[in-house]
Amino acid sequence: MSNVNEIRFAVEKSVLDIGVKIVFPVIEGIDNTILSPEWMENRKEIIAALLEEYKDIDYHADPILEGFHILHDRAGVKRRKNIPASENLIRLLNKHGDVFFINQAVDIYNIISMESKLALGAHDIDHVDGNVTLRFTDGTERFVPIGQSESVSNDPHEYSYCDDANDILCRLEIRQVEKTKVDEKTKNVFYIVQGNDATDNELMIATAQRIVDETIKYCGGKGRVIIPEII
């Protein structure tokens, strides 16, 4: 188990070189058992606005969404079976008229992901072993996707977020894992805010700060935005 004050966030330069951009918001001491009526009311308005904004979206013509596919191309990852997280959320929104509510902390970052088009994720720090590194996989890593109990195979040379136990915490920006899933018991969270060549630094930092501000507003806690060490 990692100490929230001692955990190190790092990224391999080789991953940055293909165009991945990354910052890590961290929030300590949230109460994720809360269901805020104010958030739910705001959520309705945001969902309605997003449905209007994205009703005629051309996913591959959008520079940010297409930027994630370009990252996959550079990493040798097939497009068809690997839809970037933010695009997948927008597709689900357009198909169902909403996105599934999991818990309040997850819902907040899902909404912000659709608004910003950045790929976002959240992980329970108390279940991380050691430090977090965004790196290319070598195929030896343990990967247990959310909802599964057994490790599944993973391909080498996929950029993934891994801890010191050689466990994948997030494959690409697509699939998170059972080990660090955020649920109602979660108290300490680190977030992935991932961009690409089409996302400037201002958008990255502003989105990370918004996650911190909105989550603290509705779930409590204290937070900060961490720029990872380059290794």
pLDDT computed for residue 6 by the predictor: 79
pLDDT computed for residue 15 by the predictor: 98
Average pLDDT over residues 151-155: 88
How does residue 3 score in pLDDT terms, banded at 50, 70 and 90? low
**pLDDT tens-digit map of 65-112:** 999 999 999 999 999 889 999 999 999 999 999 999 999 999 999 999
- For the record, the structure tokens of 123 come out as 């992980």
Structural contact between residues 223 and 26, judged by C-beta atoms closer than 8 angstroms? yes
Q: What is the mean pLDDT of the chain?
A: 96
For β-strands 119-124 and 132-136, DSSP reports them as unpaired
pLDDT computed for residue 1 by the predictor: 60
Structural contact between residues 169 and 137, judged by C-beta atoms closer than 8 angstroms? no
pTM, two decimal places: 0.95
- Is residue 228 predicted with pLDDT exceeding 80? yes
**pLDDT tens-digit map of 5-27:** 679 999 999 999 999 999 999 99
Spatial separation of the C-alpha atoms in residues 182 and 190, rounded to whole Å: 10
Structural contact between residues 204 and 195, judged by C-beta atoms closer than 8 angstroms? yes
Q: How many degrees, rounded to 5, is the angle at CA 20 between CA 1 and CA 188?
A: 25
Residues 118-127 as b/e (b if ≥16 CB within 10 A, e otherwise) read bbbbbbbbeb
Of all residues in the chain, the percent with pLDDT exceeding 70 is 98
Average pLDDT over residues 143-147: 94
How does residue 2 score in pLDDT terms, banded at 50, 70 and 90? low
